Structure 1
Amino acid sequence: MLKNQQKVIVDLQQKLIEQQNTLVSQQQEILEQQRKMYEQMDLIKVQYGMLFNTVKQMSFQSLQEDIQNYFEAHLQGLQNQVKNHLQKSYSVHKVEVDAKVIDVGESLLDCGLCESDEFCNFQKTPSQCEKCTLCPAGFFQMSACSANTDRICQDRDECTESPNICGERIKCLNTPGGFRCLGIAEKDAALGLCGEEYFFNKEIQECKACAECEDGAVAVPCSAASDTVCSAASENKLSESWAANIILPSAKSNSSQVYPGLNLKLKGMLHCEIISVEDNCLVFRQHGLMWTDLNFAVKHNCRNFLQLSLKLSNSEEGYELSAVRIEQPEGKYFQSTSLSSAAEVEPSQILSLFLRSPNQFCNQSKDLNIYDLNTPLSLFWLSHDTGAVAMSAQMSTAMYYQTNYRPTFKVISVSDPYMLSLSHDGRAIKFTEMGVVKFVFHQALYSMGHTCVREGFSLVSYINRNGTNRELMNIFKSGVNYRDTSISASQATKVNAGDLISFEILSPPQCNVRYFGDSSGISMFSLIWIPSAVSTAISATVSVTGLPTGAVRNKLLCFTQVSSHEKQIQLVSSGQLAQKYFTFTERGIASVALNLKLIHSCYILKITLNQLLRDQMQPTAIAQQIGGQMPEGSLWTSVSLHSSFEVHNSTSIFVSLDCVRGRINQIAHEHGTSISILWISS
């Protein structure tokens, strides 16, 4: 009995599909007939004009009148034929099917649970949910969108509905989405002859139905001579994400010289109304706040460091948002870094990416090789309507230290000084109200001493609440001897009113360090504060158990959450994916900062951030970072990954590791390894 009922359903659905295909074919025939009609009418008009001029010159008045009457009659007959054909073609027979509600359980014909504005398309294999068709302007709905059928629309025949729409003596011709008044002058149409809810299209000389904007978001209303202009969807959004790839010029090209500076080309991956790519740079189209993440890996043998920087500029001037230094290596292996920054942006401001060397020796190098990472650059944009605040500060002065160092800052810019300020000694950032904060601190340094290489450096961030300091994160960086390098830390966390965030850099004994402080972005602190009503954040570290070791191939990291539980971001706690997957329960923008401290012998260590959407069978990689061989003489090394991207309800993310030609020996699960995830409502 159940199989017979399923067969009946399939037959009915097949008949409905055939009816829809027939309707589409009829509509295509109508458009073709209209096109041919217009061509014939234009030809008749040309012939009539030529003959009329000839007759006028010959002064044969009687012959002129006969010819004019002939062509007018011929034109009238042609119009009547087209009108009759259109009326016949648009007649669609409605097929009524008495359907019974049948419970077929887990039927293969079912798409599952579609959204309210979706229908199940059985023409796809397997069946899948698709958005219902929206009737365009000038069309009306014949059949509503249902669970299993799309909406069917038909053109409105204005000439039949309103016979005198063009006047008593002017003929009306129906067209898709509008109508044409034959012989109407443009100046008459501009006075409103097309009527309400219609405008005169000068290009095709027709009256067209005014467009309707979704949610009534009208920027410019429809007029007698112009269509409705709808507000951009991004103007109603609180947040937006965007991503790009880096295109490196050929090594043989003269444009690939990193001294005095190489502007790395960017190629956008998705269309975005807030950002566009022009001349290989990003151009902002709206006011707001921006957070940028960049993952970068390079192999070089330059006789000095490389500096990677983000520059924000307009037509007059520009400045470095942030920059990191990649040290001169002892051998030929890949080095990686992550660069982030926050800023308030305005329309027409340009964001560009530069790679430079302090001397010309690097231009002579033939071993400059940038690794092709998956989606190296990503960013998110926030509307001012979110109430978010951006702040930038730099280290006040350059100093030498042999022990632990606490940097002092001076504010470069802040979009709301009431919400964010520095402490009285300039060593901490103070918050006036409760919220969620995403910050990054890049510090350039020069170190001397073998203990620097062996033990490395640690950048620690603290949060002071009610007079008590608590460690937020601890980031490790391999040390260098007589070299320039940078140490960076980025995290998202929740703050209360009156909280203070400060930093400390820990260096080993007998290690002389110079910390730089200037306006080139190499010692920069950036921050975005977001109200708790539209955002949240969680933090986690890797689990003690289940750490991948040995010859690792696509092994998933397990995490232990160290912050409070949040409704919008949940670490899966049971099942096969327990402690591995982070799942989002609401749509929005996510920003991830991952830091990994480990010991390995891999030629290349790959870290991949993967995303699994609802109804997807396979995950997709949304960000990637690599690490090269461990520096000689160093006990530990580190790799970081930063990325921002869009998430939906039931979107999951996880981190996987791959070790190429080697093995992973140990991963630190306390200090040096952490992940923080920021979520912002869209």
Structure 2
Amino acid sequence: SQSAPLAPYTIIQPQHAGFTQPRRTNPRTITAEVFHPGCAGGTCPSTVSHRPTSNEHTATRECKGIGCKLPSRMRQKQKPCVGEECGTQARGDGRGGSSPVQVTDRAAQFLDELQDFGSDNGAFIQLTCDMKPSNEVPSEDALVLQLQLSKTQERLVDALKGQQNEVKELQRLLTEQQGALVSQQREILEQQRRMLEQMEQDRDECLEMSGLCGDQQKCSNTPGFRCQGMTMRDAASGLCGHGYFFNSDMEECQACSDCDGEPVASPCSFVTDTVCLGPAAAASEALSLSWAGDLSLQGVKDRFLALAFPSMQLHIQGRGDAGLVLVENGYLVLREHGLVWLDGNLGLSHGCRSFIQVCLRLNDTDGSNGRDLSGVRVEQREQRSIQSVSISGVAEVAPGQKLSIFLRSASHHCNQSSEGLQLYDSSAAPLNLLWLSHDTGAVAMTAQAMVSAHYHTNYRPVFRTISTSDPYVMGLTHDGRGVRFAESGAVRFVFQQALYSMGQACISEGFQLVAYLNQNGTGMELFRVFKPGVHYRDTSISLSGTAKVSPGDAISFEILSPAQCNVRFFGDETGISLLSLFWVPAAITSSLSASVANTGLPSGAVRNKPLFFRQTTPQVSQIGLLGKGSSDQRRDFIFKESGTVSLALDLKLIHSCNLVKVTLLRRNDAEGLGQRHDTEGTRPVALAQQVDGQMPEGSEWASVSLRASFRVHNGTVVFFILDCVRGRVNQISHQTGSGVSIFWVAA
């Protein structure tokens, strides 16, 4: 008869070294062994009767199959058989054989009785059954679901925040647009109001004044009046009449504006309206201020090509605060009473057969009564390289006066090509202005050197006073060779002298200008600058510096020339031989001087190398030299109080560079917060720059100077760098001719 298949079970082998792989046995043999436990292998008879004992039968009825392995509380209780079913269960298939369930139970019981399967070293059968309610979520899945919900919630919160920020930004933009719209509406209303007022006070000039346009039929009434066919040339000739100017945009004559008691920056002319200054609140309470601007050849190059410029004005463009000055048509219009010191740093190249002259000029409000504050001559060079020009001047000014810079040519024989005149485009503002209020008690003075008709080698100029705001504080000495001081303070000065020289020794050795401080009859050298010489040429030499003075002190000058060099010194009204000074009381000013250090000098292929200095004047509380090295080799100048600074740097050097650049940089600015900011990682700001071209042929030394004015705060740090383009720096003189002077005034 066929037997039913066995229930699935797993035989797990022990994991130890002494276990032997079980032999493979025919399944029929296993079946025989299950039905006949007393036999083994193929020796089992096909039919063997086995009757269990009463004890065995009882045990079999109590638990069958794999249930015997379960704990007693988990075993299923056998139901007693009743009636005919008992015989059926005993017979199984009705032929006295065992049913498939009984075969399965007997096999499991047999396996349990075997010693190998019951021991720890033998195999055993393991059944697992995971039973869990259908509605219960595993703990791991719950955790994952919770994390997903949390992340989703975070993303939702971030999205909401982003939307809120966008809404706020849109609200801000809407507010700005609304404000701009309201401002525009106000301007429109103001314009309409002015137009209505103009219409109610408008005069019919064509009826009231006969012959306005030459023929009454050509006159048309407007807010002013209009003449048919009127040109700018007609307007410049005064056709509009007194109190009117020609508006080129409207092509009509209009009445000049009234400043209603405010200062007038520029009066009404034939072709321009009145310019009113308005209140300048920023300057009204300050003791000192500074301003910086640009210079360009805008609008003058074409005129230069056509006329070879007997005179042309450089165009001034503003960079600084408009509260102190106003830039108009290339002029610098002053808005406050006070004293001004102006510095210019130009890199200039020209092709004229003789020198050209850079002039600093002051004009009155109407353009009349102009006078030159300074003048520097730029020599003719065959190499046509860039020459460094430093020009400075001082003046007592009033609102509405104008400052301008002009170029003048000594002859009309200039190269009219596009390269005839070039102005180097500096990375920093070439024009700087320092303004001092009269409340400082400062005094300004200018004096002109007397003309010498003879040739000299060494020369001590004699001066005559041009102007002074207080002759008691500053005046000339009895012999006119110096300026004496009656009170303690600090003085800033500049002296430029035009000269003409003959002799080859002039070229090789050059000239030196020396400033002396005379105290109690003893002369002490303050500064010395070097200028390359010329042969049968005109040039200029200039020196700017600062010094602390006491009552009775005096400052004088001397120009030194080579022994075999004949020099003639010039002087006229164009400022080419002018001494300019201003003095400030000691209570609100301070000064410091330093020479170039004799160690650590940049040489060779120099690119953006810092200059180091050694202080030569006593320590002051407002300015100091800051550095990591010794006291004789420091780079940074630090300012410890707010104020305005004017400084001058001069270098004497030997080089083969096509271009030499000296730049003043500001490394740190606390912006008036009274503390230093650590900004080592920030990029320094260029305050001023001066350039110079190739060394003059035959000259042993070259020179370059830089002058600038700027505001400082507590913690402001400045330093200088030197740059050589296409060449090398061979030597920098640290003994004479190279140094810096700094003048500080309280804000």
TM-score class, shorter-chain normalisation, is 0.5 to 0.7
Aligned residue number for residue 425 of structure 2: 372
Matches within 5 A, 1:225-304: 232-249=281-298, 253-254=302-303, 257=307, 259-304=309-354
Picking from 584, 590, 601, the partner of 2:645 is 590
Matches within 5 A, 1:25-64: 25=171
Aligned residue number for residue 555 of structure 2: 501
Deviation, structure 1 residue 25:
4.0
Inter-partner Cα distance in structure 2 for 1:26 and 1:637: 59
Aligned residue number for residue 202 of structure 2: none
2:350 touches 2:384 (CA, 8 Å); kept in 1? Answer: yes
Aligned residue number for residue 659 of structure 1: 724
Q: 1:231 to 1:245 in 2, by over 3 A?
A: closer
1:488 aligns to 2:537 (yes or no): no
Aligned residue number for residue 174 of structure 1: none
Inter-partner Cα distance in structure 1 for 2:612 and 2:310: 44
Inter-partner Cα distance in structure 2 for 1:497 and 1:413: 21
Write the deviation string for residues 29-82 of structure 1: whole angstroms up to 9, x where unpaired: 79969x99xx9xxxxxxxxxxxxxxxxxxxxxxxxxxxxxxxxxxxxxxxxxxx
Matches within 5 A, 1:275-354: 275-314=325-364, 315=366, 316-354=368-406
Q: 1:18 to 1:420 in 2, by over 3 A?
A: farther
Deviation, structure 1 residue 364:
2.5
Write the deviation string for residues 111-136 of structure 1: whole angstroms up to 9, x where unpaired: xxxxxxxxxxxxxxxxxxxxxxxxxx
Inter-partner Cα distance in structure 2 for 1:20 and 1:358: 67
SS in 1 for 2:414: helix
Matches within 5 A, 1:388-427: 388-427=442-481
2:605 touches 2:728 (CA, 8 Å); kept in 1? Answer: yes
Inter-partner Cα distance in structure 2 for 1:545 and 1:265: 42
Deviation, structure 1 residue 272:
2.4
Q: 1:258 to 1:597 in 2, by over 3 A?
A: farther
Inter-partner Cα distance in structure 1 for 2:165 and 2:279: 34
Inter-partner Cα distance in structure 1 for 2:582 and 2:470: 11
Aligned residue number for residue 498 of structure 2: 444
2:296 touches 2:423 (CA, 8 Å); kept in 1? Answer: no
Aligned residue number for residue 68 of structure 1: none
Write the deviation string for residues 362-421 of structure 1: whole angstroms up to 9, x where unpaired: 263543211112211101100000000000010122332332100000000000011001
Picking from 439, 450, 456, the partner of 2:510 is 456
Deviation, structure 1 residue 503:
0.1
Counterpart of 1:542 in structure 2: which amino acid? V
Write the deviation string for residues 301-355 of structure 1: whole angstroms up to 9, x where unpaired: 2100010000001122101111000100131211111000111011111101001
Inter-partner Cα distance in structure 1 for 2:745 and 2:591: 9
SS in 1 for 2:697: coil
Counterpart of 2:391 in structure 1: which amino acid? L
Inter-partner Cα distance in structure 2 for 1:489 and 1:26: 56
Q: 1:231 to 1:631 in 2, by over 3 A?
A: closer
Inter-partner Cα distance in structure 2 for 1:236 and 1:250: 37
Aligned residue number for residue 688 of structure 2: 623
Inter-partner Cα distance in structure 2 for 1:478 and 1:412: 30
Aligned residue number for residue 525 of structure 1: 579
Counterpart of 2:638 in structure 1: which amino acid? T
Write the deviation string for residues 240-280 of structure 1: whole angstroms up to 9, x where unpaired: 10011112136861256553101000100122212100111
2:291 touches 2:324 (CA, 8 Å); kept in 1? Answer: no
Inter-partner Cα distance in structure 2 for 1:232 and 1:637: 45
Deviation, structure 1 residue 541:
0.5
1:251 touches 1:366 (CA, 8 Å); kept in 2? Answer: no
SS in 2 for 1:364: coil
Counterpart of 2:556 in structure 1: which amino acid? S
Matches within 5 A, 1:636-651: 636-651=701-716
Inter-partner Cα distance in structure 2 for 1:464 and 1:430: 9
1:281 touches 1:350 (CA, 8 Å); kept in 2? Answer: yes
SS in 1 for 2:410: coil
Inter-partner Cα distance in structure 1 for 2:302 and 2:464: 41
Inter-partner Cα distance in structure 1 for 2:164 and 2:442: 53
Picking from 585, 591, 601, the partner of 2:656 is 601
2:357 touches 2:376 (CA, 8 Å); kept in 1? Answer: yes
Inter-partner Cα distance in structure 1 for 2:443 and 2:175: 57
Matches within 5 A, 1:127-142: none
Deviation, structure 1 residue 587:
1.1
1:330 touches 1:631 (CA, 8 Å); kept in 2? Answer: no
1:458 touches 1:506 (CA, 8 Å); kept in 2? Answer: yes
2:280 touches 2:324 (CA, 8 Å); kept in 1? Answer: no
Inter-partner Cα distance in structure 2 for 1:650 and 1:269: 23
2:544 touches 2:648 (CA, 8 Å); kept in 1? Answer: yes
Matches within 5 A, 1:110-125: none
Inter-partner Cα distance in structure 2 for 1:371 and 1:231: 33
Matches within 5 A, 1:136-175: none
Counterpart of 2:546 in structure 1: which amino acid? A
SS in 2 for 1:378: strand
Q: 1:252 to 1:414 in 2, by over 3 A?
A: closer
1:611 touches 1:652 (CA, 8 Å); kept in 2? Answer: yes
SS in 1 for 2:660: strand
Aligned residue number for residue 527 of structure 2: 473
CA-atom RMSD in angstroms: 2.8
Counterpart of 2:634 in structure 1: which amino acid? Q
SS in 2 for 1:586: coil
Q: 1:21 to 1:637 in 2, by over 3 A?
A: same
Q: 1:230 to 1:591 in 2, by over 3 A?
A: closer
Q: 1:586 to 1:634 in 2, by over 3 A?
A: same
2:510 touches 2:533 (CA, 8 Å); kept in 1? Answer: yes
Deviation, structure 1 residue 611:
0.7
Inter-partner Cα distance in structure 1 for 2:178 and 2:545: 60
2:325 touches 2:334 (CA, 8 Å); kept in 1? Answer: yes
Deviation, structure 1 residue 585:
0.8
Consecutive unaligned residues of structure 1, counting only runs of 5 or more, are 1-10, 40-228
Q: 1:230 to 1:307 in 2, by over 3 A?
A: closer
Inter-partner Cα distance in structure 1 for 2:622 and 2:466: 33
SS in 2 for 1:359: coil
1:295 touches 1:338 (CA, 8 Å); kept in 2? Answer: yes
Give the number of the structure whose alpha-carbon radius of gyration is greater.
2
Q: 1:627 to 1:27 in 2, by over 3 A?
A: closer
Deviation, structure 1 residue 299:
1.6
Q: 1:25 to 1:676 in 2, by over 3 A?
A: same
SS in 2 for 1:360: coil
Task: Judging by fraction of residues, say which structure has more strand.
Answer: 1
SS in 1 for 2:507: helix
Percent of pairs identical after alignment?
50
Deviation, structure 1 residue 20:
13
Moved more, 304-313 or 568-577: 568-577
Counterpart of 2:315 in structure 1: which amino acid? K
2:280 touches 2:336 (CA, 8 Å); kept in 1? Answer: no
